[in-house]
Chains A and B, each alone.
Chain A
Amino acid sequence: DIVMTQSPDSLAVSLGERATINCKSGQSVLYSSTNKNYIAWYQQKPGQPPKLLISWASTRESGVPERFSGSGSGTDFTLTISSLQAEDVAVYYCQQYYSNSLTFGGGTKVEIK
């Protein structure tokens, strides 16, 4: 299985400041034939199911605020919240779909400083 490692485990950011979450895959998830990175990002608020934010490493889902962006390629990926809002307090997960044995990162908890 492809191991997904997220860092940090948690971070506290002031309102309006930038939050950066890292995700590293145990092998490249860049599919050469499509030139796409098979990475998704989810947001999970307490008591709720996860919500899809980003697919293909950097494609924002419809309705997701522009302050959320994804970047990276190969084995190293980043989710950035450019200006943290109170409603962004949540746990964020990366997921690889390069392999049909899907795997998630351990999650990063984002809180307000």
Chain B
Amino acid sequence: EAQLVESGGGLVQPGGSLRVSCAATGFSFSGYAMSWVRQAPGKGLEWVSGISGTGGRTYYADSVRGRFTISRDNSKNTLDLQMSSLRGDDTAIYFCAKDQYSGGLRYFDLWGRGTLVIVSS
């Protein structure tokens, strides 16, 4: 059964850094693009960043470009999001999501349960 499991969330001070990860099992990880989608408490979904199946192309929302870095290790079937210069409005559940496509970003047919990141002093 295909599955995504996020880890690494927690409490971090404003201006700090945090790395969240996603472990993928049950499908050919390198064959699909992956993304991070976040959801602030009680709010809607916001796409954050995506990466192609090979890792050769990365994409970012304007709200995180220059602060967040997405990466993947296809030998370990893992997806990471390195977050820096964190702000209060980055507080959210961060979901790892599998794309239906390899070369670019489309829609998500598998989601993890998410990891909570809280930015607060």
Residues of A within 8 A of B (CB): 1, 38, 40, 42, 44, 48-52, 55, 61, 91, 93, 95, 97, 100-107
Can you list 6 pairs linking A and B with CB atoms under 8 Å apart? A40-B106, A50-B111, A51-B111, A102-B50, A106-B44, A107-B44
B47's nearest neighbour on chain A, judged by CB, is: A102
Q: A49-B95, A49-B111, A55-B100 are in contact. Are A107 and B106 (CB under 8 A)?
A: no
Main secondary structure of the interface of A (DSSP, over half): loop
B59 near A100 with CB under 8 A, answer yes
- Of B37, B104, B107, B111, which is within 8 A of A55 by CB? B107
A residues in contact with B61, CB < 8 Å: 101
Quick one: CB contact mask for B45-89 with A, threshold 8 Å, 1 for yes? 111001000000001011000000000000000000000000000
Residues of B within 8 A of A (CB): 35, 37, 44-47, 50, 59, 61-62, 95, 100, 104-109, 111-114
Which residue, A40, A48, A102, A106, has most C-beta atoms of chain B within 10 A? A102
> Shortest CB–CB separation between residue A20 and chain B, in angstroms?
19
A residues in contact with B104, CB < 8 Å: 100
B residues in contact with A93, CB < 8 Å: 44-45
B residues in contact with A101, CB < 8 Å: 47, 59, 61-62
Q: A49-B112, A55-B100 are in contact. Are A97 and B107 (CB under 8 A)?
A: yes
A52 near B47 with CB under 8 A, answer no
B33's nearest neighbour on chain A, judged by CB, is: A100
